[in-house]
Structure 1
Amino acid sequence: MKIAFYQPGIMRLLAKSNFLEYIGVRKIILHTPMTNKSLGKQGEDIAEKYLKDRGYKILVRNFTKRPWGEIDIVAEKKAKPFSFLQTKLVFVEVKSIVKRNDFFPEDQITDKKQNQLRKMAQIYLSTNKLPLSTAYQIDILAIEFDGNSQVIAIRHQPNAIEDNY
């Protein structure tokens, strides 16, 4: 007996075309992957816990200003002892994917997205009436899941996007 694994939408198309019958498939197992939205939400939840466990204070999640964009997490990081800076704002872009061998989640951060994150950092400062000279950094937190929604890798790249302003 042949077994086929298809996503539901593809299976419906194949069933209409009698393709499955033609290739002799007797049993169909539907595989419904996580949606991009649920994958992103789960990734952000994991990122929040990851940051909290490392001493970050989460200020805001999903800071949005239309039409400019969104910042996944805004956090505050305490400065190291004896540093002249007391705290630093950290804007975190979370990228989550189901593991693939051909690229990493952080590869999805295009130049356009980097510029958008820089702009959103400035908008956050302005919206919250913080001086534009406030110390901040933009981090990338990449999370990879296996096919069963289990985390297989977390990579945190502090100050991954430099501010050009």
Structure 2
Amino acid sequence: MTDTIASAVVPDFRKAMRRMAATVTLISTIDASGRRHGMVATAVNSVTMDPPTLLICVNQVASLHAPLIERGRFCVNVLMPAHHELVGRFSGQKSGEDRFDAGDWRIDGASGLPYLHGAQCNLFCRIESATPVGTHSVIIAAVEAVHVHDDVKPLIYANGRLHAVGDAMS
């Protein structure tokens, strides 16, 4: 695709992506110095169940990117509506360790990764590959452990706003 065609598509592509509702997650890791890093992500998807594998997309200029790649491990924390106040903190209102001042953050004994206790679920992952695609890295990761909360109440992002899922239709 030429740069001219790509540039012409960007505004409508952005509008189209805003119409694709996505579960809100916080990606967290810890560097070799013990500093925690995290960011909000909606580009998180399962790849396969056998073996359990997922993918995340992380902007290469995000503060999380370098520590994530260097550590090779991260946790996907799937948020519930009760966690909506964390989204702003992890989207630029705060930086570094200050992002972790709110929420019940703990360190997992097995992986050493920070995770949000009480999240809908926590997926502890090991990076298998990271491929640069445009401005982002597409990261494929093996899921090594999972914590699951009993309630199924995902926080959803659609059309630039946060939403809670209502009652099931069937």
Shorter chain as normaliser: what TM range?
A: under 0.3
Larger RCO (alpha carbons 8 Å, 6+ apart): 2
Larger Rg: 1 or 2? 1
Counting helix residues as a fraction of each chain, which structure ranks higher?
1
How does the TM-score come out when normalised to structure 2? 0.27
